[in-house]
Structure 1
Amino acid sequence: MSTRHIITVDAVLFDMDGTLIDSTPGVMTAWGIFAKDYGFDADTVAHASHGRRLHDTLREFCKIEDEAKLLAEVTRFEEEVLNAGPVALPGAIELIRQIQYGNPSQEAQRHSWVIATSATNVYTPPALRVCGVPIPLAGLVTSDDVTRGKPHPDPYLAAAKRCGAESEKCLVVEDAPSGLNAGRAAGSKTLAVCTSHTRQEILNASTPDYIVKDLTKVSVNWIDGKLHLTIDESE
């Protein structure tokens, strides 16, 4: 069976943490601090919460009901992550460069990709800047922009709308089962990257259409105003 696939889509909808950038050291530091403050096991909660909105996770595991305190704790958590210095993951910047600058039409470039993240609109822009990842011309979809976060489809439905595309004609790129399930629920094709979970962990909890080691296994060409992605699933 061939491990190389070529697909055509109108837009690519990226997750951020764990897909485009590696914020793991900061996330684990933050969970360690919050575990001491609220009395839970940091590793267990970090694994269970990956890909979900921090707002939802802190409400569940820290038992925070007061909205003002919850928002303040989200900010405190994200500041710890930024202080640790996230970095771009392999292949991420090059793939975005191919998408954003591979077509002479500015209109096509503007609607070709977007980021849909479970992080807030306070954390997301500086995290991208620190990592050297450009902000999409179509904008960002953050946890502040949707009522329901991943694994619900809302973030990716909103992301497709930002691109002026039908979600069924988009590719969702994700590292977490919750995000892959959100993409599938939105009707999109899904591509899993094994940058935060093992291949088996991903397949145990989701059903991606494609799965790769990281984004060095993906490349893009523009043909007649459409994105043609080559996906190499070899390990």
Structure 2
Amino acid sequence: MRAAESPIRAVLFDFDGVIVNSMPGHARAWVRIFAEKGLDITEEDVYLHEGRPTVDVAHVFLSRHGLPAEKQHCRALAAHKQAYYLSKPGGVVIFPEIVPIIESVVGRGIAAAVVTGSNDEVVRRTLPKKLRSFFSAFVTADDIKKGKPDPEPWLKAAEKLAVQPKACLVVENAPLGIQAARAAGMRALAITTTLQPEHLQGAEAVARNFDELARLIESRLNGEH
């Protein structure tokens, strides 16, 4: 551990794409909803905006294509997208490899939190009760005024855990979440569940799989990096 860095007291996990393999479902939902409006967006377009609250994602794409992007339009589109996403059963599974990582973190006495651009309903319907019990705090789109890339979600989690931001380690899979973590004064690791490493260069290290991620987290909890 470099002298300027504090020991890690909390690990903050993004939700979609880190804990749950849900991003393909979210991306397909957005592609479908915008196709209904005659707009062509790709799944990668969605991945690059992952982490934003659903209403903010709607605003980005509506504005980009010159369509009305007032709050009422964005909220209506976001509600339509969420209804479509939640109507597709069996499309979301927990990454099984993340479970022992979370267990290991908590087993060391390190606090863990979930920080996500999804809302409470999505998290509640997706995350099994047993896995929820490992987390000391949750921050969803319903808890914040500004979503990623603003640092507010990460700072809110640190506040809930009563941990200084500089003592938090973030685990992300999207560039906006990494940007937000760095703006919050936190360290960040990334995993390539949805995007290639070139999109994740803001993180201090990028894991290509969960075994690598486990080693990266362990080394930082041990003060080796």
TM class, shorter-chain normalised? 0.7 to 0.9
CA contact (8 A) 1:92 1:216 kept: no
- Residue of structure 2 equivalent to 1:212: 207
- Residue of structure 2 equivalent to 1:81: 85
- Residue of structure 2 equivalent to 1:38: 37
- Residue of structure 2 equivalent to 1:65: 70
CA contact (8 A) 1:99 1:113 kept: yes
Query: Using the alignment, how far apart are the partners of 2:45 and 2:133 within structure 1?
Result: 29
- The equivalent position to 2:142 in structure 1, one of 128, 141, 144, is 144
Which amino acid in 1 is paired with 2:34? Answer: A
Q: What does 1:1-235 correspond to in 2, within 5 Å?
A: 8-43=7-42, 45-62=45-62, 63-67=68-72, 70-82=74-86, 83-84=88-89, 85-100=91-106, 102-103=107-108, 108=109, 112-129=111-128, 133-203=131-201, 207-217=202-212, 218=214, 227-228=221-222
Query: Using the alignment, how far apart are the partners of 2:52 and 2:14 within structure 1?
Result: 11
Can you give the 5+ residue segments of structure 2 that lack an aligned partner in the other structure?
1-5, 63-67
Which amino acid in 2 is paired with 1:187? Answer: G
CA contact (8 A) 1:90 1:214 kept: no
Q: Give TM-score, length-normalised by structure 2.
A: 0.81
Q: Please report how far the alpha carbon of residue 216 of structure 1 lies from its aligned counterpart in structure 2 after TM superposition.
A: 2.5
| 2:206 match: secondary structure | strand
Instruction: Deviation per CA, 1:188-231: give whole Å up to 9, x if none.
Output: 1110111111112222xxx211211133221567xxxx954889
More strand per residue: 1
Q: Give TM-score, length-normalised by structure 1.
A: 0.78
Instruction: Count residues with an aligned counterpart.
Output: 209
CA contact (8 A) 1:64 1:70 kept: yes
Q: Percent identity?
A: 27
Q: Following TM superposition, where does structure 1 have runs of at least 4 consecutive aligned residues deviating by more than 6 angstroms? A: none
- Aligned-residue CA RMSD (Å): 2.7
- Residue of structure 1 equivalent to 2:65: none
| 1:9 match: secondary structure | coil
